[in-house]
Structure 1
Amino acid sequence: MPRSYAVQCLPTPYTSLAGINDAVDKLNGLQTNFAVLEAVRKSGGNANKNALPEMIEFVERSGYNPKEFDDLNMIHVTGTKGKGSTCALTESILRNYQGKKQIKTGLYTSPHLMEVRERIRINGAPISQELFAKYFFEVWDRLDSTGDKSKPGYFRFLTVLAFHVFKQEKVDVAILEVGVGGAYDSTNIIHKPVVCGVAALGIDHVSVLGSTLGEIAWNKGGIFKHGVPAVSSAQPEEGLTVLQSRASELGTSLQVIPAFNSQQLGNVTIGLAGKHQVANAALATALCRIWIEKVLGEKIGGAGESIPKEFVQGLSSARWPGRGQIMVRDDKPKITWFFDGAHTAESIHVCAEWFKDASQRSTQGPVKKVLVFNCTGPRDGDLLLGPLAKIQSSVHFDEAVFTPAITFASNTYKGDLVNNNTPLDLELKTQKTLAACWTKQVALAGAQGEFKTTVLPSIEHSVNWIDDYVKTETEKGASQVQVLVTGSLHLVGGVQSVLGCEIA
């Protein structure tokens, strides 16, 4: 029996810049500290088994019963690689769909690049600073008004906030990206989504989700719901077998969606860069087809034959910053930044192949290439850097820079970029280890030619270092510098913040 809370809907005057800053500061205070994260890892995930009951209580204290979210007509997406891209493609298709009515979309993803409000989007755009502050303090004050001053952790609070925003903004569809795993993820309190999706599986978060693909697939398949259709990208046999078993156990069926082939694509160009996006686009198309037929009652043709003409605009106009993104700065020499937040061995392999192709197409005259890398948490540096080392013979990074996910050198950084989850001394130690891994992996790959490694204490230091490097190489005759930033979305967002990019 769920508890009943008398929730006061208090007026919230926090709509100024001070309001958004105060909201972000309070949100940062909810970040799980390093010791707690270590406890979860050491428990092998058992510490997460109380996550859903606790999350449901926070939702109820915020004034909702999880069943009330059913009218958001939700699409729930999990996976290891590509779940964010799949959500972005899904949102773009539905927002651009020309049916009986214009679809108002809500999108909840993680992490953010530069500002936390990027995680909650209405009609493809991050909610405004004013709305973020307004809705943040409505949830904050509702939690306090129950007499219990405890708050959910960072990601859980944002999940509660996203549901509140989507309810208040009366979206027609809420597209939810799972944070970690699925079975115990805070988004998994929902009762009846319209459809569930699983993007490509891989090995990640092993201390929480399990060390085998089967164990990870079990956790991801935990989002399946009785009678709710589920679709998945093509998966390795071990993972697919477990997903099918989970679907049967939870009372649904699972349809595998193969990636688009060249005949199906025709002359359609997917708005997100990378060969792997053909699989994400196919999954997004299946999710949207099911959603439109179930919610709007409109049949979409072309199943298994071609991309529905109704979806072409959404697929081609989709944008997802920080993933396969190229940005050209017309400095002298010209700097071309390549951004990809890949953070698993599989996704970095895809990133390496993308960069190899894209950098060669962009090369004009003498060119120098720099790798800027960071990974967060306890990860295998050899495994992550191996795919990049294997392209060293053809790409040849002249320099490799390793930096913690600490954005600015001083204390003037934006609150959105604060990360309290890893101590600085451990971060620097990790980067030095990564630099050594890079040297070893390049040697193992048999790449010829000289290269240098540098470890710097912040992203701002790294960007300044690159500026100085560009000036030096200009004097030596270089006409272009190409910089690949990868290994972590936190790193990508930090670099873009230091460069003064606007959020998109």
Structure 2
Amino acid sequence: MSAPTSDVILDRMMALHPKIIDLTLDRVWRLLAALDHPERRLPGVIHLAGTNGKGSTQAMIRAGLEGAGKSVHAYTSPHLARFHERIRLAGALISEPALTEVLDRCYRANGGENITYFEITTVAALLAFAETPADYTLLETGLGGRLDATNVVDQPALTVITPISIDHVQFLGDTLAKIAGEKAGILKRGVPCVVGPQPDEALDVIEARAARLGAPLLVHGQHWHFHEERGRLVVQDETGLLDLPKPALIGRHQMENAAAAVVALRALGYGEEACVAAMENVTWPARMQRLKTGPLVAAAGEAELWLDGGHNPAAGEMLADVLAGLPPKPTHLICGMLNTKDVTGYMRPLAAVADSLTAVSIPGEPNTIPAEDTAEFAQQVRLGATTAPDVEAAIRKITADHPGARILICGSLYLAGDVLKQNG
């Protein structure tokens, strides 16, 4: 009998708990103890939480640290095309043999006990990080913070909280204050935290928890500021002013993510060289990514093809802002979303900058909204909408009538992942 692949073990792990999300740390602590506590043996941890921007901010911090010659582990979720994307060991995506081995060890150590897929795979990542030399470990929370499976490190080197908005209300609460309370759960006694731009209601909660823990805060608008000047990013914090290239990631919201990454790097003791590398070397797929090669690009012909995985109202506003700042061109959306999202809240700002929307269902996702329903949501915000059986059919449908258009595929990271698989 051949040895199981990572996909086989991951499928087995899906069956260990009836729910996809069940927020508690009890099962994680049990498995970590069975594995001799790998979370206590990690290279210096930088822990990130937030509603929007934490993945991009993490990617820029990683680019900066690597630009300074440091080796960096990184954990992020969800993946787009392959699970391996979630675990980066000392700068490289985890190999198939290494992933299979660490998943198998965690599966056996768990002994068939109840545990969610995210919990056991997070423990696998921590185990891989603990056993591979590196200088830093970047951990992105999956959901919330206080009860997230990544929140098991007593003394990280630094924490970061990116902008908080309403999302995942069924798990985190239905007000900004409740959601901020969950995100602020990553704060640790005496550990500095970089805080990105926040609504007052969220910042009040973060500041109150930090005061109780004695966690020093570096808060946007108080301890650091940023602005764009002549096509460059200017960041000022308590160590001085830096004039930097704009980040390689597109959009005004990426400027605020970049500024937070710069403040984080400076808090860790790094200077201008690392900060420039953070701007110039960062890559992060499906964040307003221009697709330039592949079969879907070929299907688009003369049209521009873009991809974005944002999926909540704040992401819709950011995306609308990005589109408004691009050279004028008819813009047509291809959109698929999950039924756990505020669909009209996401679409409303986009209706002002898009000419049409073609709705698709997300392949293989049980929680996808049927294309017909997505089209109805678009029409409710006065965005003309039709449907298509899949993304390629939607592209061909749009380009038949608008050959030189800008096409943006959007609405879900799961849809973005499927697009990246299709496009090779």
**Per-residue Cα deviation, 1:299-337 (whole angstroms, up to 9, x for no partner):** x45xxxxxx233202321100001121113356732422
Equivalent pair of 1:359/1:482 in contact (CA under 8 Å): no
The match for 1:60 is: 33
Aligned pairs (5 A) from 1:480-491? 480-491=404-415
1:419-475 C-alpha deviation (Å, 9 max, x unpaired): 56x3xxxx345x4332112112126xxxxxxx441153xxxx2323423553x34xx
- The structure that is strand-richer by fraction is 2
Residues 1:182 and 1:335: Cα distance change in structure 2 (over 3 Å): same
Aligned length: 405
Q: Check the 8 A contact 1:260/1:281 in 2, yes or no.
A: no
Q: Do the aligned partners of residues 435 and 172 (structure 1) sit closer, same or farther apart at CA in structure 2, a change above 3 Å counting?
A: same
Task: Give yes or no for contact 1:326–1:339 (8 Å, CA) kept in 2.
Answer: yes
Partner in structure 2 of residue 89 of structure 1? 60
Q: SS of the counterpart of 2:181?
A: helix
Structure 2 residue 329 is the aligned partner of structure 1 residue 356: no
Q: Distance in 2 between matches of 1:124 and 1:60?
A: 27
Measure, in 2, the Cα distance between the counterparts of 1:123 and 1:357. 36
Match of 1:78 among 28, 49, 59: 49
Q: Distance in 2 between matches of 1:464 and 1:151?
A: 42
How far the C-alpha of 1:234 sits from its partner, in A, is 2.0
SS of the aligned residue for 2:131 comes to helix
Tell me whether 1:283 sits opposite 2:260 in the alignment. yes
Q: After superposition, what is the alpha-carbon deviation per residue over 1:106-131, rounded to whole angstroms, capped at 9, x for unaligned? A: 00011111001101112443212222
CA distance in 2, matches of 1:63, 1:133: 19
| Counterpart for residue 386 of structure 2 | 453
**Contact 2:50/2:164 (8 A) holds in 1:** yes
Q: 1:191 to 1:332 in 2, by over 3 A?
A: closer
Letter in 2 for 1:186: A
1:248 is the counterpart of 2:214: no
Q: Does 1:153 align with 2:116?
A: yes
Q: Which runs of 4+ in 1 moved over 4 A?
A: none
* TM-score of the pair, normalised by structure 2: 0.88
Residue number among 174, 178, 202 corresponding to 2:141 in the alignment: 178
Q: Is the CA contact 2:312–2:343 (under 8 Å) kept in the aligned structure 1? A: no
Give the superposition deviation at 1:158.
1.5
Q: Does 1:439 align with 2:379?
A: yes
Q: 1:251 to 1:53 in 2, by over 3 A?
A: farther
Measured after TM superposition, the shift of residue 80 of structure 1 is: 0.5
Alpha-carbon separation, structure 2, partners of 1:127 and 1:332: 33
Between 197-206 and 383-392, the greater mean CA deviation after superposition:
383-392
1:142 Cα deviation (Å)?
A: 3.1
Query: Amino acid of the residue matched to residue 325 of structure 2?
Result: D
CA distance in 2, matches of 1:262, 1:351: 18
Question: Does residue 132 of structure 2 align to residue 169 of structure 1?
Answer: yes
- Asked if the contact 2:290/2:305 (under 8 Å) is kept, the reply is yes
What displacement does 1:79 show? 0.5
Equivalent residue for 2:160? 197
Q: Distance in 2 between matches of 1:484 and 1:87?
A: 24
C-alpha separation in 1, matches of 2:264 and 2:157: 9
More relative contact order, 1 or 2 (CA 8 Å, 6+ apart): 1
Partner Cα distance (2:300, 2:381) in 1: 32
Identity of aligned residues (%): 27
Could you say what secondary structure the match of 2:361 adopts?
coil
Equivalent residues of 2:339, 2:369 under 8 A apart: no
**Structure 1 residues 439, 377: closer, same or farther in 2, change over 3 A?**
closer
Structure 1 position 134 matched with structure 2 position 101: yes
Structure 2 match to 1:498? 422
- Does the alignment pair 1:239 with 2:239? no
Corresponding residue to 2:280 among 316, 326, 331? 316
The amino acid that maps onto 1:82 is G
1:463 aligns with 2:392: yes
Pairing of 1:371-410 with structure 2 (within 5 A): 371-392=333-354, 396-397=355-356, 400-407=357-364
Residues 342/359 of structure 1: CA separation in 2 closer, same or farther (3 Å cut): farther
Mapped partners of 1:496, 1:359: distance in 2:
25
- Structure 2 partner of 1:411: none
User: Which runs of 5 or more residues in structure 1 are unaligned?
Assistant: 1-12, 41-46, 294-299, 302-307, 408-418, 444-450
Q: Please say which of residues 170-179 and 478-487 is displaced more in the overlay.
A: 478-487
2:262 touches 2:275 (CA, 8 Å); kept in 1? yes
When residues 479 and 469 of structure 1 are mapped into structure 2, their CA distance, relative to the original with a 3 A threshold, is closer
Paired residue secondary structure (2:332): strand
Quote the Cα distance in structure 2 between the aligned partners of 1:401 and 1:468.
9
Change (3 A) 1:55 1:377: farther
Q: Which has the larger radius of gyration?
A: 1
2:74 match? 107
Contiguous gaps of at least 5 residues in structure 2 = 235-242
Distance (Å, rounded) in 1 between the aligned partners of 2:373 and 2:299: 33
Amino acid at match of 2:143: V
Partner amino acid for 2:391?
Answer: S
Preserved CA contact (<8 Å) 2:311 2:341: no
